[in-house]
Every structure is written in structure tokens, then in C-alpha cells.
Amino acid sequence: MLVKGPASPLLCKRLENKIDVETTEVKTKVFPDGEIYVKLEGDVQDRDCTLVQTTYPNRHLLELFMIQNALKENGAASIKVIVPYYAYGRQDTIFDNGEAISAKAFAKRIGVEADEFCSVDLHSEEIVDFFDIPAQNVSAMTKLAEHSMEVKDPDLLIAPDEGAKDVVKEAALSVGLEWDYLEKTRIDANTVEIKPKNIDVEGKSAVILDDIIATGGTMTEAAEQLKGSGAEEVHAGCTHGLFVDDAEHRLDSACDTVFCTDTIEQEKSEVSVATLLVDEIV
Ligand code: R5P
């Protein structure tokens, strides 16, 4: 049974259209004091259930835990949790003494009332090891690269930093495009230079791909650098489009177009991860 988490209605609909599976809706409401209520509409007793629920913004994380509990308490035979966007993934280690490892804390909590876990483009591959249940990470980067080829017709793909280098390289190779990444070089105490490491972008069309766009700061800076290096067109794509505050406005002025997937449902969700997740349900 597909349990349609309230955070992912469009993705759940797309999944439902692709597979012959029984589904249940989840009713939610917020009490006057801000507390959240969830109720499974269908009967999950003795059913193998797959819950799809993304975790941005914060309230959807709370809903996730409560729906897992509802499944457990109402007798689901097994619970698979698909979290298209796994929030808190960027805090995956102690960077400064005294910090929590949020990516680990939530992995442990999810594992208490689930048998399996799956996500899309976790911020780091190591996060799967935080789970005490079988966990896997699927990547949407190739899908983003294919979409770029169809709609943007770029000359190359660019990773905005070294962290995104490997996934962008893999995506570029899968569609036969050139790729590069932006490298920061410190010129002196007050000056850094950011430019493509190997490739001259003069007169070219580039798509920058990253896992997350949050404030848009990384993408905006990357796009401005590429334009400054003579790129003719710069498009920005990501798996998880959070678009915090005025991110879309900033991005729209720096990039020719901006697109993301439906792991977080946005106006710019031009790419669906449904085909990547179908196999996780059937
Ligand atoms: C960072 O490690 C991530 O891969 C993204 O580059 C980052 O989260 C983007 O954040 P923002 O849009 O706020 O610059």
C-alpha cells in the first residue's frame, strides 16, 4: 500500500499513475496551539506499506514521525519510508565542538518505526550508514542532465564546488557532455577568484547542477562567475529546490533559467523523480 504523505501530493500522484497499487491518504490538521494531528484514512492492518513524505519545511518532519507511528500502531506488516528530500543532511558531522549530528539523529529516529529507508540525493552518501535499518540513496543527477540536454541544449555541465564534482561528472558522462567544476583560488587575504578549473566557457552555454538550492547564494555566485568568464547562457538545476526567502528572485536575475525536481514540490519542479522511485514501491 502506498501511503501518500501530505508533503508530497504531486509526487505521490505521479507514482500512483505509474503503478497498480492500493493507496491511502493521510489526514492532517494543526491544533490552535500548533500541535499536529495525523490520521491514516485507509486500513493498513497486515499490509506492507510504503510511505512517501518529504521533510521540508520542518512541520513535514514531525508529520513523518507521526505517520510512521500511526502505521506501527495500526498494525502495518512492514513500513518502508521514502523521504524524497532528507532535511538536516548537511549537518552530517561535528564541525564545531558541542554540535549535534542532525543527519544522524533523524536517521536513528526514523529507524525506530520503519523497516527500510530510501532517499534521493542525500547530501552525503555516508548518511545511509547512520540508519539502523537497510537504507539507500538514489540519484536524480542523471535525470537532471537528461532534462538539461532536452530543454537547455548546453555545451557543458558545471559543479559549483568540489563537493558536487563527482555527481556532476557522472551525470555529464551519462549524457556525453563535457563537465567542469568551479575552483576557488585565494589571491591574497582579501581576494578569492572563482573560475572553471579546466574549461574555457567563453561563448558557451552551461548548466550548473547541485544537490540543493537553499538561499541561492552558491548558484548565484557560480552563475555570475561563469557569465563573468564569458559564458553566453547559464542555467541552474538542482535536485532539491528549497528556494528560501528571495532565492528565486536572486537566481532569476543571475541565471537564464532555474529548475529542480519534485522532491520538494515547487513551481520550478520540471523534473520528476517518480520513475526513480517506482522500483522502491513494487
Ligand atoms: C552545500 O554543500 C550544498 O551542496 C549546496 O551547495 C548548498 O546547500 C546551497 O545552499 P545555498 O543555496 O544557500 O547557497
Q: What is the pLDDT of residue 282?
A: 66
| Consecutive H or E run containing 119 | strand 116-120
- pLDDT tens column, 196-220: 888 899 999 999 999 999 999 999 9
With H, G, I as helix, E, B as strand and everything else as coil, classify residue 52.
Answer: strand
Residue 261, ligand 1, Cβ within 6 A: no
Q: 125 C-alpha to center of ligand 1: Å?
A: 16
What integer is the mean pLDDT of 155-168?
93
| Cell, residue 245 | 526567502
- Ligand 1 centre to CA of 31 (Å) is 34
215 lines ligand 1 (CB under 6 A): yes
Best CA proximity match to 232, nearest among 223, 240, 241, 220: 223
Binding site membership of 213 for ligand 1 (Cβ less than 6 Å): yes
29 is catalytic: no
Q: Do 182 and 222 touch, CB atoms closer than 8 A?
A: yes
pLDDT at 192: 59
Look at residue 133 in the predicted model and tell me its pLDDT. 98
- Average pLDDT value over all residues in the chain: 95
> Residue range 144-170: average pLDDT?
94
Q: pTM for the full model?
A: 0.94
Cα 84-19-40 angle, rounded to 5 deg:
60
Which residue has the least CA distance to atom 3 on ligand 1? 212
What pLDDT, on the 0 to 100 scale, is given for residue 140?
97
**Residue 10: pLDDT over 90:** yes
Considering the candidates 143, 184, 195, 268, report the single residue annotated as catalytic. Answer: 184
pLDDT tens per residue, range 50-106: 999 999 999 999 999 999 999 999 999 999 999 999 999 999 999 999 999 999 999
Residue 254: band (very low, low, confident or very high) from pLDDT cuts 50, 70, 90: very high
Burial 80-102 (b: 16+ CB within 10 A, else e): bbbbbbbbbbebbeeeeeeeebe
CA 18 – ligand 1 centroid, Å: 32
Atom 8, ligand 1: residue with shortest CA distance:
212
Helix (H, G, I), strand (E, B) or coil at 70: helix
Q: 218 CB under 6 A from ligand 1?
A: yes
Q: Whose CA is nearest to atom 10 of ligand 1?
A: 214
